[in-house]
Chain A
Amino acid sequence: MLRTKDLLDLESCTAAEIKLILDTAEAFLAVMRRRIPKVPILRDKTIVNLFYENSTRTRISFELAEKRLSADVINFSASGSSVSKGETLKDTVDNILAMRADLVVMRHGSSGAARYLADRVPVGVVNAGDGMHEHPTQGLLDMLTMRQKMGTLQGKRVVVVGDILHSRVARSNVWGLTKMGAQVTVCGPPPLIPVEMESMGCKVEYDLPKAVADADAINVLRIQLERQTVQNFPGNREYARRYRVDGALLAKTKPSCFVLHPGPMNRDVEITSEVADGPRQVILEQVTNGVAVRMAIIYLLSGGAPESLGENLN
């Protein structure tokens, strides 16, 4: 059981809650490996996926998680919907509530939108990404993947490299990993690092080779072309020159250091195909873990008790 009805961010989660989610996710990984990878726990629930931003992998991941818990799933995407006809978020929400959903998973382009929704509806809200603010389920699946590879997060050094300024994944990574005792360093060109980022508990380093010299894990973020309204850096070719993760960079890291990427990748912009397809990345494990983490969160927010997990999974 989590303390509130919602999962809006990792900033407000405790280390104990994060551990609970990760442990629960491990149990659901076992479910996913079964011949029938489903459990009937949420067969009485209806979940709405309210996606105001384009997303393939996150929405599918949530949908898979929800279906594996046997919930009924409604998908609502912004284009071709009432939103393009000028309906406000508040009105959309009221309409969906009137249809008696039990849980809402929302992705929205405005920071704070998940909070906006959660404050106005009695049902639980899972933040699937709000603007530049947080993407808690991504942070959790990143942490699960790292914990699997390293055994623990305590004392580990994680570098997050890319467009930190616009990245909700970066912020969630910093909050979550720091709470679990890891040391996070963010790296990128100065215009893409938010001011006073250290106040979030991480280090800031503009020199990538220096940042990754003693790293245990490197989380490579996509350059967010769709979020750029102004020119933040001189272009992809320039970015690749100083900040791309390639084989030569990895050769100078610890042999145990591995690479994550939330996807979708801009191959050869922030990461080379050599690395993306090579032996030192865990990108597909992240995807699998993503479904399990989302099953865990939805289970716990729907009143699922960790103690009952064993019987619920049989």
Chain B
Amino acid sequence: MSKPKQPSATNPSPRLVVENALLVDPSRGLEAEGHLVCEAGKVISCDAGPAPEALRSDAGELIDARGLLLSPGLWDIHVHFREPGQEDKETIATGSQAAARGGFTDVVSMPNTQPVVDTAGTVRLILDRAREAGLCRVHPTGAITVGLESKQMVEYADLVDAGAVGFTDDGRPVEDGGLMRRAMDYSRILGVPMITHAEDLTLSEGGAMHEGAWSTRLGLRGIPYAAEVVCIARDIELARHTGAHLHVAHVSSRLAVQLIRRAKEDGLQVTAETAPHFLDLTDADCVDYDPRFKMNPPLRTIDDQEALIEALADGTLDCIATDHAPHTDTEKNRPFAEAPFGVIGLETAFAVGHDRLVRRGSMGYSRLIELMSTAGARIMGLPGGGLAPGSRSDFALIDPEETWTPQVRDLGSKGRNCPWLGRSLTGRVVATHLGEGFSFRRAAVDTARRD
């Protein structure tokens, strides 16, 4: 996989012109056949219509993107890259590879590594590794509590100064409401979101899948709606009390959506995400006890799926985030109740979103790309998710019509725990451009002229 070129005075990256693409830039409300011209890591021109002839004429590379979507690089604000400490599952390099294959130029990494990201040093380690890999921008979150133990606050400003973009105990909830309140209060001086993994552990206790007719039939302990909803309710009230920015991770149920809708109606600074697997799979998919369908929160019912899709369309949910969670084969290849929670999702996210949301008529490309790119950047308060001239030339070229069946060779991740292996999807990333060069490029992207 080629790394984007390093710039230098004697060898600035050549000008790249992409034309005849279906340009979708939600940051400017643009969806039209158009072009993009970039050079030295920046967008020079990007608009409807053909590229200005002056820019075309001495382009280093010209790509005819007929039939392809051209979108800002995708953002996934919830991934687990497992480094430091669990490199058998994934490294920042392999996670970045997975991201690039999925059209992502930016990801927000979760802090439940070993050690936990609760000191500035670990933040810097992650940023260094990401830079070395050079395939994706990784924005690390820090933990809310030291060691994710829900006992002691982390030195938040220290981590922000080192590069942390937000805080979460994800993997675990912050069990102590008082501590969560004080941390959220404090976050107001940092200008970063506090991300909640909402789970009442005493209610989810021992559960392996959604508590319902299927868990009853399969004889598996269930995780009831209440486990998620009770904690979301708590954190929304803390957002109300403190005025902090609360972001709700991996929303899985209609009941949760209802709470979030109400919070937004009340004018609270609450954002929320859901994952592609919740849009495509349900608890019925656990019928064969395949741990590739085991994650936390768990897959729920068709009714919840419908509520999530509606909420993505009407803005109650702000973005799609995969919760990409690789595990080794040894760990996942076990009886269902014993396997760890988690599925990977970077390589298939766009296709699943496209299949379930656009092709079934719930929304068009603009809203999908907004959910998968622009919104993520906005929630995190970071630059990106748009292709206005002057912005970084981070973009994805996607074939919305290509039907494919993910195989292991399509994965960039070390993890093989992908629910869509062997399942047909429509919508496939052709190339991902990060800064000065392509981080991922499949064959057969037309080039009219090369230097």
Contact = CB atoms under 8 A, between A and B. Distances in A.
B288 interface: yes
Contact of B337 (A111, A171, A194): A111
A112 B336 contact: yes
Given A89-B335, A90-B333, A229-B206, A111 B213 contact: no
Contact of A196 (B216, B219, B336): B216
B254 to A, nearest CB: 16
Contact of B218 (A88, A108, A133, A195): A133
A229 B221 CA distance: 11
Interface in B309-350: 330, 333-338
A200 interface: yes
Contact of A132 (B211, B219, B224): B219
Contacts of A199: 213, 216-217
Nearest to B339: A110
Nearest to A164: B216
Contact of B219 (A116, A131, A230): A131
Nearest to B338: A110
Interface residues of B, number: 23
Interface string A80-119: 0000000011100000000000000000101111011000
B212 interface: yes
Interface string A198-225: 0110000000000000000000000000
Contact of A111 (B205, B211, B224, B336): B336
A11 interface: yes
Given A134-B219, A171-B219, A229-B205, A111 B334 contact: no
Contacts of A132: 219-221
A6 interface: no
A168 B219 CA distance: 7
Contacts of B338: 110
Most buried by B among A112, A132, A196: A112
A197 interface: yes
B218 A111 contact: yes
A63 interface: no
Nearest to B208: A111
Given A88-B330, A89-B335, A115-B289, A130 B219 contact: yes
Nearest to B288: A115
A209 B2 CA distance: 74
Nearest to A230: B205
B222 interface: yes
Interface in B219-257: 219-222, 224
Contacts of B45: none
A126 to B, nearest CB: 17
Nearest to A11: B217
A111 B212 contact: no
B215 interface: yes
Contacts of A112: 218-220, 289, 335-337
A132 B333 CA distance: 20
Contacts of B222: 194-195
A308 to B, nearest CB: 34
A116 B205 contact: no
Contact of B289 (A111, A168, A171, A194): A111
Interface residues on A, range: 20 to 34
Contacts of A115: 288-289
B219 to A, nearest CB: 3
A134 B220 CA distance: 11
A215 B330 CA distance: 49
B153 to A, nearest CB: 30
Interface string A222-238: 00000001100000000
Contacts of B212: 195-196
A199 B213 CA distance: 6
A168 B220 CA distance: 11
A41 B34 CA distance: 77
Interface in B330-377: 330, 333-338
B217 A200 contact: yes
Interface centre among B213, B217, B220, B337 (most CB of A within 10 A): B217
A185 B212 CA distance: 19
Given A88-B330, A196-B212, A229-B205, A108 B335 contact: yes
Contact of A89 (B219, B221, B334): B334
A108 B289 CA distance: 14
Given A89-B335, A108-B335, A110-B336, A116 B216 contact: no
A196 B301 CA distance: 13
B217 A110 contact: no
A111 B288 contact: no
B216 A88 contact: no
Contact of B213 (A110, A196, A229): A196
A110 B333 CA distance: 13
Contact of B335 (A110, A171, A200): A110
Given A131-B219, A133-B219, A134-B219, A116 B330 contact: no
Contacts of A229: 205-206
A27 to B, nearest CB: 32
A246 to B, nearest CB: 29
A197 B335 contact: no
A136 B218 CA distance: 14
B336 A194 contact: no
Contacts of A111: 218-220, 289, 335-337
A125 to B, nearest CB: 13
Contacts of B206: 229-230
Nearest to A133: B219
Nearest to A130: B219
Contacts of B216: 194-197, 199-200
Nearest to B205: A230
Contacts of B218: 111-112, 133
A111 B211 CA distance: 15
B303 to A, nearest CB: 13
A195 B213 contact: yes
Given A115-B288, A229-B205, A194 B335 contact: no
Contacts of A194: 215-216, 222
A134 B205 CA distance: 22
Q: Which of B218, B219, B222, B335 counts the most chain A CB atoms within 10 A?
A: B219
B346 to A, nearest CB: 27
Most chain B CB neighbours (cut-off 10 Å) among A11, A110, A168: A110
Nearest to B206: A229
13 contacts: A90-B333, A108-B335, A110-B335, A110-B338, A111-B335, A111-B337, A116-B334, A133-B219, A133-B220, A134-B219, A194-B216, A199-B217, A229-B206
Given A195-B213, A196-B212, 10 more contacts: A88-B333, A108-B335, A110-B336, A111-B218, A111-B219, A111-B337, A112-B337, A115-B289, A133-B218, A134-B219
Enumerate the 8 nearest inter-chain pairs by beta-carbon distance, A residue then B residue, closest first: A133-B219, A112-B289, A110-B335, A132-B219, A194-B216, A111-B219, A196-B213, A199-B213
